[in-house]
Structure 1
Amino acid sequence: MSRHEPLQPAYNFSSAPEPVGLFQGTVDVGLGKKRFSGTADLWLKFLPSPRVIFHARVQGTPESEPLFAVAIQDDPFLSFNGQRIEGFRGRWRADVDTFELDWHPRSEPVALCDMQSKTSVAAILHLFNFPDFRDGQYQTTAAPAGRALLVLKAEGWRVSLQSLPNNATHEAWERIKDEGGCFLTHVAKLERKDGKLFSGDEACEQRLLLASFLSFTKGGRCETVCEVGLDAAGDKTWETFGSPRITNPPYSWFNPSKASQAELLFPLFVKRWQQSEEWRDCLRSAIYWYVQANTNGGALGIDAAIILAQAALERLAHHHLVVDKKMISPEGLDRLRASERLRLLFSNLNLPVGISAATPEIQKAALRFNWRDAPHAMTDIRNELVHPASKKRVVDCFFEAWKLSLWYLELSVLALCGYDDTYTSRLTAEYVNESAQVPWGARGSQF
C-alpha cells in the first residue's frame, strides 16, 4: 500500500468547546402569517451538550416589534437556503426591527442538498473522542509522517482513519481526561477501492455501518459527524451536519495499542452486517444495548446495565439459534429458561460456561445458591433485580455479573462475526493494552 496523504479536517474544530461555525446562508422565518428574511449561521455547539443549531437574524420594521413578541408564541418555521428545516425554536430575542432565534433541527444529521443526486470520489469524516490507537497493519508502510493510521476495508470500500498532526490527538485526550466533554481526535477518508464515484446516499449507508462498528470497537457511542463529499478536484459536492454523540466507557474488548484488531474484525463484521436485513437489525440492536450497558457510573446504574446486557445476549441467541441456524423453533426457545437459552448460545459459539476464579464473588455465591454455571448465575442475579421474590442477597455479585454479562456479549459478537484473534478481556486484563487470544479455537484459553 502506498503512503496516504495527510488528511485535514474540513472544518476548524480547534476552538472546541466554544461553538464552531459550519455554514452560512439565507433564511426565511415564518411568524404567524408573516414571513421575514435574513441570514443564519449553522453552529456546532458543545455545551451543555453537543448539538447543531441554526442562529437566524431577520429584519422587520418598528411596527414588527409587537408581532415578534406575540407571534413567537405560535409555531414558527424556518427555511434555510430555500430548504425547510423541521425543528423547534430555542432562545430568541426581539429588538425594534430585528429578531434573532436559535432553531434546533428535529433530527441529525442535517443534509442541505439532495444526497441521491450528489456524487463524490471521496468523503472526509470527523471523529470525536475515538481511542488514541497505534500499531495498525499499515502503520509502517502507508501512514503519513507523525500520524497513526487505521485502515478498514470491506466489500469494495475503504475507510482510512488518521490521528491529528502535531500530537494533537494526544493533546485532545489529555483535555478529555481533565475537562470531560468532546474534542476532535481523528479525521477519516471514505472511498471506493476502485476509485469510482458514489452517491451521498451511499455514503450515508456506510456512515450507519461505521457508527455501529466504531461504537462496538470503542465500547461506547461513537459515530462520524460533519461529512463532506469531494470530487476529483477536491471541491465539495455535498455536506451533512451533525453533532458528536459520545460516551467515555471504562473499557471494551479493543486494545488501542493494537489497532490491527479493528482492521481484522471490520471485513468480518461487514459480511455479517450485509448478510441480511435481519442480521443488520440484530447487530444494531445488540450494539445499541451494549454501549448503553457499558456504563462508567453515569446516569445508567449497574443494575440496569446488567438487564440491558442480558437482553442483548438473548436477542443474539434468538437470531443465531432460531433465525440463522434454525437449531430450534421460536416456541422451543421460548420454552427454555433464560439460563438455558444463554447456555445454548455460548456452547454453540464455543464460549466457556463455567464459573471461574475471575469472578470470586459469584464463585462464592454459587455454593449457597447452587448455580451450576455462569449462565445460571447471571440470569439468577438478573432475575433478582427484576423480580426480587426470593430475597436472595446477591448485591455483592452485581459488579461481577455486570462484567461477566458484557464479557459474554463482546465475545458473542466477535464469535458471530468469525473473529479469531486477540482481544482485551475485561475479566482478567490488568491494563487496557493487555491482549489475550479469544477463548475459542486451538490457541484459546478458558479465560
Structure 2
Amino acid sequence: MRSTARALQPKYATLDPNDRVVLYDGPLVVSEPGKPKKKHTLNGTVYLRWMPSPAIEFDATCSEGELGFFDGGVVALSKLRWQAPFLTTMMSTDLEASELRGRMRGCVTRAFEGFYPRTRTREVTDILFHVANVEWLHGAPVVENSTIRSDRIQFEVGEWRVALDAVRDCKQQLDKLAVRGGYALTYVGVVERIDRAPFAPGTAKLVLDTVYWFLSFLWGHWTGPTLLVGRRKGNPMWERWSLPVIDSWKPRQPWAPRGHPNALGQLFNGLFRKLSDPLWERTIRVAIHWYVAALSQAGAVEGAIMMSQAAFELLWWTKFVAVASVVHEPDKLIAADKLRLLLDRYHIPMTIPPELTELAKEARSKNWDDGPQALTQVRNETVHPTKGRKARPPLHGPPVWEAWRLSVWYLEMCLLAILEYNGPYCPRIPAGGNANATKMVPWA
C-alpha cells in the first residue's frame, strides 16, 4: 500500500446530480454599468448552477433597502479581490424582520480568476481541476482511507504529467445521472511538471486544452477541466472559475475500451503533438467538433452524415495537400475518391460491413461500389433533391440510419489513426452484434 498513489481530493463536489456547487460565501460589491463609483455592498453566495445549462451565478441580499434596477455591471468578491462582469437575472425587494432588503441574482459572463491575497509568488506546483459527466474507466490503483480503488488514468507528455481519478462516489453519481440526467462532477484531475518544478499557470494552457479535447473525443460529448485550483505544495494559490462547453448526461456508445487505460496514453500524446502543430491544430479541433456533433445527431441523422463528410474533407486536405503535398490538383477529385485515399492510407476497410444489411441492399440496387461511394451518394441524395431536371425519390429510413453509423465509424478510425493510436477499440459496428467486443485498430 505504501507504493500506491494517494487518491486526488477534489475541492468542489456534487452531492447529487444537478446540485449547485458553492464557490464563495461572503461579502460582494456590485458596481452599476457606467457608474464605477455607484457601488452596493451585499452579502451573498457565488455558485456553479447546472440547470438548464451550466453557469456561474451569484445570489445576494442588501440591507440598504431597495437597489433600484440595473441590467448588469461588475461584481467583486471582497475577501479575494477578484471581479467579473455579470448580467442581472433577478432583482426584488423583500420584507424581512420589518426591514426592506434588496435581493438580486446575476449570471457571470466572464471567468472569476485570481491569486489569493498575500500570495507571495505567481507560480504553482500543480493545477487541480474537476470534470463533469465522465464515465468510470478501470485504471491504476489509488488509496484513500486504507481503501484501494482502481480509479487512476495517468499520462506523461513533454514536460507534463496528467492524472485523472474517479471521485469516491463516481459510480453512484453515474447511476443517478442515468435516471435523472443533467450534470455531476465525476472525476478530479491534476496537471504538474514531471520534475515537480513550479510553473506559471498560463504555461499549462496547452496541456489543459489537450485534456478537454481528449475527454470529449473519448466519450463523444463535450466535457473537460473546470474549476481550476493552482496549488503550491498542496496550498491553494490561484483559482479560475470558468466553464467550458459541457454536455448534459446522455448514454452513448464510446469507442474507448474500458479495460485498457494504458493504451490511452498513446492517444493523449498524439493529440498533444497535433495540437502543437500549426498545420494540424485547427484541423483536429474542427474534426473533433464535427465528430461530437455527428455522434449526437445534431441536425438529425441526415445532418450528422453531412458533418462527417465535412470532417473527412478537412482531414483529407490536411493530410494529402497541406502536409504531404502528394495531391497537386485536389479540386479534380470527387468526394468518394478523397475518402478512399484517406481510408486506404490507414488500411481501414472500404467494403460495407455485412451487419449494415439495409445500406448494403441499397448499394446493390444502385450499383454503389463501396462504403465511400455509399456515404457520398446518401449525402448527395439528401442535399440535392434533383439530378438534372429529374426529381430524386427521397432516401430515408434504415439505409440512412446505417449510413450514419458507417460515417461515424469511419471518422473515429481516421481520427484515431491520425492521432497515432495503435491500441484496442470497441467497434461501432460490432460483428455479430456483440457491443462488448474489442479489436485492434486496422493499422496496428
Is the structural similarity TM-score above 0.5?
yes
What residue in structure 2 maps to residue 89 of structure 1?
A: 88
How far is 1:363 from its partner? 1.0
- 1:290 is the counterpart of 2:291: yes
C-alpha separation in 1, matches of 2:382 and 2:85: 41
Are the equivalent residues in 2 in contact too, given 1:28–1:80 (CA < 8 A)? no
- Could you report, residue by residue, the CA deviation over 1:51-92 in whole angstroms, capped at 9, with x for unpaired residues? 21122334435xxx3xx34x43x5544344454423322122
Q: Deviations over 1:227-275 (max 9, x none)?
A: 111101x11011111347124352121112332332332222222222x
Counterpart of 1:154 (choices 147, 153, 157) is 157
Provide closer, same or farther for how the CA distance between residues 402 and 373 of structure 1 changes in structure 2, counting only shifts above 3 A.
same
Give the equivalent residue in structure 2 for 1:314.
Answer: 313
Are the aligned partners of 1:150 and 1:161 in contact in 2 as well (CA < 8 Å)? yes
Match of 1:269 among 271, 281, 303: 271
Secondary structure class of the residue paired with 1:385? helix
User: Which moved further from structure 2: 315-324 or 146-155?
Assistant: 146-155
Q: Alignment RMSD, CA only?
A: 2.7
Instruction: Tell me if 1:434 matches 2:422.
Output: no
User: Residue 356 of structure 1: SS of its match in structure 2?
Assistant: coil
- The amino acid across from 2:360 in the alignment is Q
Counterpart position of 1:418: 420
1:354 is aligned with what amino acid? T
What is the distance in 2 between the residues matched to 1:76 and 1:426?
A: 49
Q: 2:379 aligns with which of 378, 382, 388?
A: 382
Question: Is 2:369 aligned against 1:365?
Answer: no
Note closer, same or farther for the CA distance 1:225–1:432 as it changes in structure 2 (3 Å cut): farther
* 1:185, distance to aligned residue in structure 2 (A): 1.5
**Following the alignment from structure 1 to structure 2, what is the Cα–Cα distance between the partners of residues 325 and 144?**
52
SS in 2 for 1:412: helix
- 5 Å matches for 1:328-347? 328-329=327-328, 332-347=329-344
Cα deviation code 1:398-440 (max 9, x no counterpart) = 1111111111111101111222221111011645542111112
Q: Please state whether the residue corresponding to 1:347 is helix, strand or coil.
A: helix
Work out the CA distance in 1 between the residues paired with 2:194 and 2:288.
27
The more displaced of 138-147 and 368-377 is 138-147
Q: What are structure 2's unaligned runs of at least 5 residues?
A: none
1:303 aligned residue: 302
Unaligned runs of 5+ in 1: 442-447
Which protein is richer in strand relative to its size?
2
Contact kept, 8 Å, 1:38 with 1:56, in 2: the verdict is: yes
- C-alpha distance in structure 1 between counterparts of 2:255 and 2:289, whole Å: 16
Shift of 1:12: 3.4
TM-superposed deviation, 1:47: 2.2
Deviations 1:33-63 (A, max 9, x none): 43222234210112222221122334435xx
- The residue identity in structure 1 corresponding to 2:133 is N
CA shift in 2, pair 1:15/1:427, >3 Å = closer
Map of 2:59 onto structure 1: 55
Cα distance in 1 for partners of 2:72, 2:151 equals 49
Q: Given that residues 139 and 150 in structure 1 are in contact (C-alpha distance below 8 angstroms), is that contact kept between their aligned partners in structure 2?
A: no
What one-letter code is carried by the residue in structure 1 that aligns with 2:242? G
TM-score by length of 1: 0.87
Q: Secondary structure at the match of 2:5?
A: coil
For residue 239 of structure 1, what is the aligned residue in structure 2?
A: 239
Aligned pairs (5 A) from 1:118-267: 118-134=122-138, 136=139, 138-139=140-141, 145-165=148-168, 168-232=169-233, 234-243=234-243, 245-247=246-248, 248=250, 250-267=252-269
Change (3 A) 1:195 1:399: same
Q: What is the rounded CA distance, in whole Å, between the counterparts of 1:86 and 1:203 in structure 2? A: 25
SS of equivalent residue, structure 2 residue 427 = coil
Would the aligned equivalents of 2:6 and 2:142 in 1 still touch at CA under 8 Å?
no
CA distance in 1 between partners of 2:364 and 2:160 (Å): 52
Aligned length: 422
In 2 relative to 1, CA 195–210 (structure 1 residues): closer, same or farther, beyond 3 Å?
same
